[in-house]
Amino acid sequence: PAAAAPAPVARPAPEPVAAVGVEDGPQLDESVELRWRGVVAAVNMRKRMLGAFLEDCRLAGLAGGALVLAMDDLHRAVVDASEHRALVREELGRAFGSPLDLRCVPLDGAVRPRPASLSDVKPLIDRAIEFFDGEVIERPGRGDRST
């Protein structure tokens, strides 16, 4: 006798989040943070590298029907790709119960970390190379030039 597959578990739709005006600035609370973590987890299941880039971004909150994320230019280039933006917006709609836009903003000067060393940025560079299917080109160092 074949075992019956378990019935899918019906999850209740999440309560929609109340709209926040842009003039109020981004609103961030535990509910928003929890839902955002769910979005990142769902994106990770579908596209791991995009999920990793989202994990590196700083959640600012909700404002004017959009989720606001602070990030550097490299992260913005990846997240802003039309295919990636569509995927994130789809998961935002699921997690927050209504369509939300995604707004990428630069990291605030007050929250920027100390200047990065090569060891700090190497993982980001490696991810960018992987994302763009890049090929590393060996170049002689500045002191290695022969004329």
Copy the structure tokens of residue 122.
């190497």
pTM: 0.60
**Cα–Cα dist 122/127, whole Å:** 9
As separate numbers, helices (DSSP H) first and strands (DSSP E) second, the chain gives 5, 3
The 10s digit of each residue's pLDDT in 20-72 is 344 457 888 899 999 999 999 999 999 999 999 999 999 999 998 999 999 99
Give tens-digit pLDDT for 79-133.
Answer: 999 999 999 999 999 999 999 999 999 987 544 444 556 776 778 778 777 777 7
Residue 70 has phi, psi (to 5 degrees) of -95, 135
- Here the tokens at position 120 are 């700090």
